[in-house]
Chain A
Amino acid sequence: MMKPFFLSTAAAVAIVGSAASADEIRVLNWQGYGTDLDWSVASFAESSGHTVIHEYFNSEQEMLTKLRTNPGAYDVVLINAAFTPQAQSEGLIGPIDVSMVGNLADVPANMAENVDLNAGGSLHGVPWTWGLTSFAVNTNEFKELPTSIEVFWDGDYAGKVSIRDDALEAVQFAAIATGQDINDIKDLDAVKAKLTALMPQIKTYWGSENDWNQFMAAGDLEVATFWSGSASRSMAAGLPVQFIVPQEGAIGWLDGLSIPTSSTKKDAAHAFINWMIDPEFYVKWAADGAPASANSKAAAALPDDAFNKRVLGDAEVVARVQFQRPVSTENREAYLALWQELKAAQ
């Protein structure tokens, strides 16, 4: 008699418990960047009971502004590793409770121990995805794929070239073309000269993935800088493009998922982050085009012909990548002044 009573009480407690922890968490991210996939949110809600609401940002600066001005509004935020130290030093994000993110065990040490994600001495951003900023070409126009970044300065493609309208990206791109370390640009004059020579080649700058796809589809562009994840999406959508990692190298970036200090639903936030680095989630996401996963099990689970396995899984390619580090405010403003001066001269 005692036993059933005890059991039913336990069951009741369990039900009450799970009802109480069925939270609504708010995620701050770029739109259409993995966390807001309908099927994934639905499946997370089913397994955990937590619902997910999204808010989007359009630039890293805006993301930081939103965190600063809306304490308590967000539970999970996507932060590029180059910005994690800043967010941490401003006290915007708190440490991750590693014990609550089981899938972290499958994240290789080089990512999990990334200096920037471990700002302040402990993990503040769970490595989620990484990718490259390099370029892609229109395969209808190229019989042989270029292997050098110099194709941007090739007169044959004058007026068919594009780079993103972003000072940091433009300067780092030219740093690679002039053989410099993107995180420690010694010769800014060489960068400026290289970009000055590039300007007449440019048809337009692109601002978003959507711009890029439209310009490419309309035949306005033949060579343009691009992000690896976006390139895999464009290829999946049937555009005739191919992503190139030139011999000079490429810019690498790492995105982490962080939890704001002011979040009141940290348990649910950890659970969501754990789901986000789950191989099951990633493989399904990658089928429609995604950046590379930080989880080695997830990466290994991809089919052999998958873009992220074929291109980014190649150790020789990865060796050419320079990963972005935080940029000081002074440098950021100097790069912007340089880029604005060049744009104003057009």
Chain B
Amino acid sequence: MSGVLLTRLGKLWLLSILFFLYAPILVMAFMSFNASQYYQLPFEFSLKWYEKLALNTEILDAATRSIAIAIVTTVVATVLGTAASVALFRFEFRGKRFLQVMLFPPIAIPWLITGTAMLIFFFGIGLGRGTPSVIIGHVALAIPYVIVVVSARLATFDATLEEAARSLGANAWTVTRRVTFPWIVPGIIAGALFAFAVSFDQFVISYFLSEPGDSTLPVLIYTSIRKGFTPEINAISTIIISVSMVVMLIAARFSNFGGER
């Protein structure tokens, strides 16, 4: 098989996977324009769910709150997680293996249990609930993901690069800034994007720890499925995804974090 053909096939594969990833998103967007509340086909075009959404301050407030919490979570979890992964990668010390293993409980134990545990613990220590508690919980859940992703990138780091830089007379700070950091940027970006996703989709913790009336979008979605999950939810999700896509593509246009050498 010729290399060109293989490359073409590969690109075709990538495209089909992207299609697979976006299939339910497209359906979601499609259904937000469908008149039937129960997603019945055939399709009948309607803007009524967007009109209803525009008047639904509860959903709009929850969406804004979710985005704000996710941004704070992303920043904090990415900084703390990246620092920890650098230490775990750079240094050998006793207990390192243990610290690495301890990243799994938050991922493995279903969030329902972690959330319940946080609820009783936060009450036990008098922290109670409210947005700060929600953020503390979100950050904690996001940190392991950031560490795992950033470490995966660091594991490929060639230490001789740093040595080479140092032997050329660069000081420690310069080495970090000019050699190490650029190398792990793609990992940090990926970790941050996952942290955002973890927070933005986190239901259990927000559900247990947010104040009544201060619910986040996932909480609203999960509690509304009992009675009626209206396509307004699809409409807000479609808007959020479209806006993020535009923002991301602009970011991709003006930056270089894919690890281009």
Chain A residues in the interface with B (C-beta under 8 A): 26, 28, 30-33, 53-56, 58, 65, 69-70, 73-74, 207-211, 213-214, 216-218, 237, 239
Contacts and interface: CB of A to CB of B under 8 A. Distances in A.
Interface in B224-259: 224-229
A213 B225 contact: no
Interface stretch (B33-41, B135-143, B165-173, B191-199): B33-41
A86 B77 CA distance: 42
Contacts, number: 63
Nearest to A71: B123
B24 interface: no
A56 B223 contact: yes
B40 A218 contact: yes
Contact of A33 (B38, B119, B213, B227): B227
Interface in B166-212: 212
A187 B232 CA distance: 47
Nearest to B228: A210
B120 interface: yes
Interface of B: 36-40, 116, 119-120, 123, 129, 212-213, 215, 222-229
Contacts of A65: 116, 119
Contacts of A58: 222-223, 226
A69 B119 contact: yes
Contact of A55 (B37, B39, B116, B212): B212
Nearest to A24: B213
Please indicate which of the listed interface residues B36, B129, B226 has the most CB atoms of chain A within 10 Å of its own CB: B226
A208 B116 CA distance: 22
A213 B38 contact: yes
5 contacts: A30-B227, A32-B226, A65-B116, A74-B212, A213-B228
Nearest to A57: B223
A321 B36 CA distance: 35
B123 A54 contact: no
B222 A70 contact: no
A210 B226 CA distance: 6
Contacts of B212: 26, 28, 53-55, 73-74
A209 B213 contact: no
A284 B135 CA distance: 40
Nearest to B56: A38
Given A30-B226, A32-B227, A73-B212, 18 more contacts: A26-B212, A26-B213, A28-B212, A54-B212, A58-B223, A58-B226, A65-B116, A65-B119, A69-B119, A74-B212, A209-B227, A210-B226, A210-B227, A210-B229, A211-B225, A214-B38, A214-B39, A218-B39
